[in-house]
Amino acid sequence: MDRKLGQPSPDQEDPVGDFLDYLLAARGVSPNTISAYRHDLDDFLAYLQRERIPFVLSAQRANIIAYLLELERKGRATATVARRLAALKSFFRFLKEKGAIEKDPTAHLETPRLEKRLPQVLTEQEIVALLSQPDTQTTAGRRDRAMLELLYATGMRVSELISLNVGDLNFEGQYVRCLGKGSKERLIPVGSVALQAVREWLDGGRGEFLHGRAERALFVNHRGRRLTRQGMWKILKQYATAAGITKPITPHTLRHSFATHLLANGADLRSVQEMLGHADISTTQIYTHLTSGQLKEVYERAHPRA
């Protein structure tokens, strides 16, 4: 019986499994990133199977180039091709360092040049409209208002928001302790409006959803369980529609808006980088392109020779 590609015989190791275990244990990579790596590597393994390559350790440089070209022929986005190559580079570099292969077939392969697409952001008026949608006379509305206010106040990722526990918020110090990518902890200031919204949720709603259960999660669903990413996305889209916002919107839109509005109102880049938890300031710099457009509008309105 044929063995599924990537699944070794009993006397062989599982290189893909070893790699994913390494990312999780040694590098502290998040489960979501692990899932993305698994998906990308499974796609490559499926390609090797179609090409009758006996095992992933047998893959050569030509096989990888042919795989990337196939992705392009299928119309995959440049960002997708670049991500797949990045996953393969990490995987084969791991195999070489481990001694499982002699040569890294991805060495010196260039990543496709990506077009810099500016992230979608909401205007300050759209933010006000969005945050005013939850009905704070209801338990769910108090929770939703608190979540939206906290997302916009801190620029947290949705995964970071739903991972918060009650003890992570310091009302006296006006900050939240956030566990980001790679399990790196950061402290983010929280404004008084968001703190008040969270306080109203804790004092007038969270207990109703818990039904007497013990739960550390700050935000819970009506069954008293920690809210999921999918649940948060559904809530956000519902309120965006109610607010008449026609732009494509995700929880990350609030993160982008947080950074853009801070920079537009005079915050320095390093502070925004720290609050967002970006390891490299070049990641934060994309928001300066957005604010420069706003500055151009101000200049054209105000300068007599514009």
157 catalytically annotated: yes
Q: Which of the residues 38, 225, 226, 278 is marked catalytic?
A: 278
Judged on CB neighbours under 10 Å (0-12, 13-18, 19+), 256 is buried
Question: Active site residue: 83, 84, 142, 157, which one?
Answer: 157
275 and 155 Cβ atoms separated by less than 8 Å: yes
Catalytic: 261? no
Question: Which H or E element spans position 185?
Answer: strand 185-189
- Asked if 289 is an active-site residue, the reply is no
Choosing from 38, 76, 96, 181, which is the catalytic residue? 181
**Which helix (DSSP H) or strand (DSSP E) does residue 274 occupy?**
helix 269-276
67 is catalytic: no
Q: Which residues of 64-81 are buried (b: 16+ CB within 10 A; e: fewer)?
A: beebbeebeeeebeeebb
52 by Cβ neighbours in 10 Å (0-12 / 13-18 / 19+) ranks as exposed
Known catalytic membership, residue 61: no
Rounded Cα gap, residues 112 and 85, in angstroms: 9
Catalytic residue among 37, 47, 152, 287: 287
Note if 213 is an active site residue. Answer: no
The Cα 256–Cα 126 span in angstroms is: 13
**Looking at 76, 96, 199, 252, which residue is catalytic?**
252
Catalytic residue among 145, 255, 256, 261: 255
CB 173 within 8 A of CB 164: no
Kindly list the catalytic residues.
157, 181, 252, 255, 278, 287
